[in-house]
């Protein structure tokens, strides 16, 4: 059976576009994953995206994960609440000064607690100042991302509140697939 999926592409073209969210209460820390770890990145990917149809990377080998993580300009920023991973944002810098927010989201148990706006604000700011940490990269001229109708119900609102603007919309049919959950059998 096929389903209709709408994909929206959004962008910021200046650091002044960013409208940061307030920091949530409690012990929330955002830390860059400084050592590329395919195992940790796959954990974050499946834990965040398991209930919202993230499947494109599930079949990747460990070597393919490592290749993604070791790209020049790739960064993963992880939000922790009281020392527990709550979500992440993955940045993918391009040679032309464009930085894509390739993945962003929270593990389900941490959604609805104001962490997402803060993490998106922080990750977007890191996209804008990426060249300060990586002088071999061109200064950032544009930050962009895409989201779709399969993502969480508050995703689009969060992007718009942070100052992202819509620049493209695509509607396509795709084969419906079950949500895998964070591990096989998670929905049993």
Alpha-carbon Rg of the chain, whole angstroms? Answer: 16
Give me the CATH number covering residue 19: 3.40.630.30
178 pLDDT higher than 60: yes
Question: Which tens digit of pLDDT belongs to each residue from 58-93?
Answer: 899 999 999 999 999 999 999 999 999 999 999 999
Q: Note the pTM of the prediction, 2 decimals.
A: 0.93
* Sheet strand arrangement including 74-81: 28-32, 74-81, 84-93, 98-106, 142-148, 2-12, 165-175
pLDDT of residue 18: 98
155 pLDDT higher than 50: yes
Query: Does any domain span residue 183?
Result: no
pLDDT of residue 182: 64
115 in Cβ contact with 106 (< 8 Å): yes
Residues 6+ apart with CB under 8 A from 171: 4, 5, 6, 7
Question: What is the span of the domain harbouring residue 78?
Answer: 2-175
Q: Burial of 96 by CB count in 10 Å (0-12 exposed, 13-18 middle, 19+ buried)?
A: exposed
Query: Does any domain span residue 19?
Result: yes
Query: Does any domain span residue 63?
Result: yes
pLDDT of residue 188: 46
Question: Which tens digit of pLDDT belongs to each residue from 23-62?
Answer: 999 999 999 999 999 999 999 999 999 888 888 898 999 9
pLDDT of residue 184: 61
Number of domains in the chain: 1
Q: What is the mean pLDDT of residues 149-174?
A: 93
* % of the chain at pLDDT higher than 90: 77
Query: Does any domain span residue 180?
Result: no
Query: Does any domain span residue 110?
Result: yes
Distance CA 168, CA 179 (A): 26
Query: Does any domain span residue 186?
Result: no
Query: Does any domain span residue 182?
Result: no
Query: Does any domain span residue 188?
Result: no
Token couple for 127: 């996209």
pLDDT of residue 180: 67
* % of the chain at pLDDT higher than 70: 94
- Map residue 17 onto helix, strand or coil: helix
pLDDT of residue 181: 64
65 in Cβ contact with 46 (< 8 Å): no
How many residues are listed for the chain in this entry?
188
Question: Which tens digit of pLDDT belongs to each residue from 101-149?
Answer: 999 999 999 999 999 999 999 999 999 999 999 988 999 999 999 999 8
Distance CA 22, CA 35 (A): 29
């Amino acid at each position: 059976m096929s389903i209709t999926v709408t994909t929206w592409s959004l962008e910021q073209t200046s650091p002044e576009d960013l409208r940061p969210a307030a920091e949530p209460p409690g012990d929330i820390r955002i830390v860059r994953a400084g050592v590329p770890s395919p195992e940790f990145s796959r954990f974050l990917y499946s834990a965040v995206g398991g209930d919202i149809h993230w499947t494109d990377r599930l079949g990747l080998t460990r070597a393919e994960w490592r290749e993604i993580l070791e790209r020049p300009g790739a960064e993963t920023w992880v939000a922790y609440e009281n020392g527990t991973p709550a979500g992440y944002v993955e940045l993918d810098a391009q040679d032309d000064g464009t930085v894509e927010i390739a993945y962003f989201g929270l593990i389900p148990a941490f959604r609805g607690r104001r962490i997402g706006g803060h993490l998106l604000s922080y990750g977007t700011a890191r996209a804008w100042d990426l060249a300060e940490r990586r002088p071999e990269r061109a200064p950032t001229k544009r930050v962009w991302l895409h989201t779709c109708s399969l993502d969480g119900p508050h995703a689009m609102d969060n992007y718009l509140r942070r100052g992202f603007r819509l620049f493209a919309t695509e509607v396509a049919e795709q084969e419906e697939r079950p949500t895998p959950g964070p591990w096989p059998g998670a929905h049993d």
